[in-house]
Amino acid sequence: MKKILMVGKPNCGKSLLFNQLTGLRQKVANYPGVTVEIKSGVMDNVELIDFPGTYSLNSLSKDEEVAINQLNAKLADDDTSLVLCVLDATRLERSLVFALQAQQLATQASKPIAFVVNFIDELKRFGHSFDIDALSHDLGAPVYAVSARDLDGITELKQALLAKDYQTYPSLSRQTPISSVSDAVKRSRELASKYAINRDVILKNQNVLDAFLLNSLFGSIAFFAIMFLLFQSIFTWATPLMDAVEVSLGAIAQFITGFVGNGVVSDFINDAIFGGVGSFLVFVPQIMVLTFVIGLLEDSGYLSRAALICHKPLSFFGLSGRSFIPYLSGHACAIPAIMAARTIESPRKRLITMMTIPLMSCSARLPVYALLIAVLIPTDVYWLGLFNMQGVAFFGLYFFGIVTALAISALLSRSTITEQEKTEMPFIIEMPSYRLPHWKPLGHRVVNSAVQFIKRAAPVIFVVSLVIWVLGYFPLNASLEDSFLGTIGHFIEPIFEPLGLDWRYGVAILMSFLAREVFVGALGTLYGMEGADENISGLAAQILNEGLPLNTGIGLLLFYVVALQCVATVATLKGEIGNNKLSWGLYGFYGLLAYALAFVANVVI
């Protein structure tokens, strides 16, 4: 199968174009460092390969190094038939710096190249146009004008890529050789002077917003307001959906058990299926809301501004402004966030960022937080009469995780610094244009986040629920405390007694060291078995009826903020850091720290 290599600078719309051509629901975001892995998809009978965005063939960051190394390897592949370089029409000069280097590299590998000028819709909005044929002649290669957002020119581009014999493209040997970055910069300026839109026209509206959002006072206030509303929305927007899921699950459970009747099968369906897996599914809408809001911030172009605002305070803790983007991504999932840390140029700051990303409250913690907050804080309590206290508590937990990460980062950064790291490059980040989100990919991303979360967590929760149910159900006619599970639980209970927790919570915590979200399913199975003869009700209501002391509940929340209970994250850290002992050492360190915090909260509060 023929291969087409897609390359370009960050923020040129390459990933969205890749999605439109292949039909894949790929993550698309308007900030540097999203596509840190090589992606591929099939366009009819051609394989399209999407490379991470890079500004130059001289790599500065880990993701650029990945892109350049893989690009050289793919250029040597006989199946590679074309290099497709994507240009940003609103920032043509910057795009051409890399494009000209890529063209030279393709020439050396005897591979044809074609260019795609994206964001043509924005040029039309400002009344600007240029001669595509003339630019094609000057570059010595075909040039196509498209809008990946509005689909303008996509059909024509796809037809050209599938129908052309790439070897008949104009010869590149007529072009002036690009032997250095300075040659590429000089040539890109010449071309931009002929074809690019006046930068002042593009920047006029952007500068108005930046004057506010990047202001040291108002920008900081706006940043904290946006972050606060982000976590408020997780509770307020998701609550109706969560209620609907809970009511639906209860109705389905009663309908199914009505046909089955009483007995072992009915108990298994109630306790293991709906008590375990069902209790976890109730909180999936919150993950969708979190993904949606973060997606809005990514697509709008705000995250680069947030990274700039955060650079100075993060520098105090030994981090970079670029650390903000992996940190925020870590609130969805730590695994892609750790990979996104490749965009940080400094090896030291990159390592510290990766080691502290697990302290960001990922979506797997959401079910745990939501359950315990619903138990500890009534739904009708408001702060200042405006903000729901459950949402405020949510923000507090996320904020505590960030503060803990910064404190540990500061400790790590105070160790010996090499002479090379004393002369690190200055912090530089591109400010992309403000854009409205592309709603179709954003909608796909929201749905996909829920689907992937369920696919990843549901099988583990089902197996754990099954094991707990079997151990708790037998010997037959024995109480839960006298069952096999009760015996195991009472054996480990002394470990959790200092935290104010009984054996049931001990079993749920122990099981959740595989993955945090297992806690809710395990606890749901245990409470379901205790109330097997009662009507199905929400897990939070069952715990609330029994009573959970405030100090114990706070300690349990702090435990889950800090504990690194995700084997997949440890494996990702091992792959990125390349140190098995360090990765598992973090697992143990965060576990002990979490236990200590839960103990202090239980004793002091």
Residue 339 lies in a domain: no
Which residues form the domain of 566? 441-604
Which of 16, 29, 22 has its CA nearest to residue 4? Answer: 22
Residue of 134, 141, 44 lying closest to 85 (CA atoms): 141
Looking from the CA of 81 toward its CB, the CA atoms found within 13 Å total 18
Mapping DSSP onto H, E and C, the string for 301-316 reads: CHHHHHHHHHHHHHHH
52 closest CA partner among 343, 347, 294, 353 = 343
> Cβ distance 60 to 425 under 8 Å?
yes
Helices 92-108 and 181-195 pack at an angle, to 10 degrees, of 130
Unique residue bearing structure tokens 């409205």: 436
Give which of 150, 163, 86 is closest to 118, Cα–Cα: 86
- Residue 205 placed within a domain: no
Q: Judge whether 360 lies within some domain.
A: no
Q: How far apart are the C-alpha atoms of 243 and 284, rounded to whole Å?
A: 11
Separation of alpha carbons 157 and 477, rounded Å? 70
* Residue 2 backbone dihedrals phi, psi, to 5 degrees: -70, 150
Give the bridge partners for 147, in sequence order: 152
User: Residue 277 carries which DSSP code?
Assistant: I
Nearest to 361 by CA among 321, 393, 313: 393
Q: Which pair of tokens denotes residue 365?
A: 């913690």
SS3 381: coil
- Nearest CA to 389 out of 399, 398, 380 is that of 380
Give the strand pairing for 2-8 and 39-43.
Answer: unpaired
3-class DSSP state of 477: coil
| 30 within a domain of the structure (yes/no) | yes
Neighbour tally for 12: CB within 10 Å: 28
Instruction: Choose the final residue of a domain: 174, 197, 220.
Output: 197
* First-residue to last-residue Cα distance in the chain: 65
> Residue 2: exposed, middle, or buried by beta-carbon count in 10 A (0-12, 13-18, 19+)?
middle
DSSP state for residue 34 in the 8-state scheme = S
Considering only the C-alpha atoms of the chain, give the largest distance between any 2 of them, rounded to a whole number of Å.
88
Q: What is the DSSP string of 544-562?
A: HHH---HHHHHHHHHHHHH
| Residues 213, 214, 215: CA angle, nearest 5 degrees | 95
Q: Could you give the CA distance from residue 350 to residue 340 in angstroms, rounded to a whole number?
A: 10
Q: Which of 166, 197, 228 is the last residue of a domain?
A: 197
Number of domains in the chain: 2
Cα distances from 64 to residues 37, 59, 245, 572, 578, in angstroms, run 10, 5, 43, 19, 19
The residue among 147, 177, 197 that closes a domain is 197
The mean pLDDT values, 10 residues at a time, for the chain of 605 residues are 89 87 62 61 88 79 72 89 93 91 90 93 85 90 91 91 64 59 88 86 78 88 85 78 86 83 80 80 85 85 86 89 87 82 83 94 89 88 79 89 94 68 62 80 84 83 87 82 90 95 92 84 80 57 87 96 89 85 93 96 91
In degrees and rounded to multiples of 5, residue 262 shows phi and psi of -80, 155
Helix (H) or strand (E) holding 90: none
Cα–Cα distance, 489 to 37 (Å, whole number)? 43
Provide the CATH number for the domain around residue 56.
3.40.50.300
Residue type, 543: I
Asked if residues 349 and 326 have their Cβ atoms less than 8 Å apart, the reply is no
Where do the DSSP E strands lie in 280-434? Answer: 382-383, 387-388
Question: The tokens of 570 are what?
Answer: 């440890």
- C-alpha to C-alpha distances, 135 to 132, 234, 408, nearest whole angstrom: 5, 48, 52
The reply to whether 417 falls in a domain is: no
Contact partners, residue 82, CB within 8 Å, separation at least 6 = 2, 4, 5, 111, 112, 113, 114, 161, 166
Please enumerate in sequence order all residues whose Cβ is within 8 A of that of 450, keeping only pairs 6 or more positions apart, or say none: 284, 285, 287, 288, 291
Long-range contacts (CB closer than 8 Å, 24 or more residues apart) made by 499-508: 499/552, 499/555, 499/556, 499/559, 499/595, 499/598, 499/599, 499/602, 500/549, 500/551, 500/552, 500/555, 500/602, 501/552, 501/556, 505/556, 507/468
- 340 and 294 in contact (C-beta within 8 Å)? no
Residue 110 contacts residue 143 (beta carbons within 8 Å):
no
Would residue 17 count as lying in a domain?
A: yes
pLDDT at 251: 87
Q: What is the DSSP string of 174-228?
A: TSPP--SHHHHHHHHHHHHHHHSPPHHHHHHHHHHHHHHHTSTTHHHHHHHHHHH
Amino acid at 278: G
Q: E strand or H helix at 538, and its extent?
A: none
Peptide bond before residue 475 is cis, with ω within 30 degrees of 0 = yes
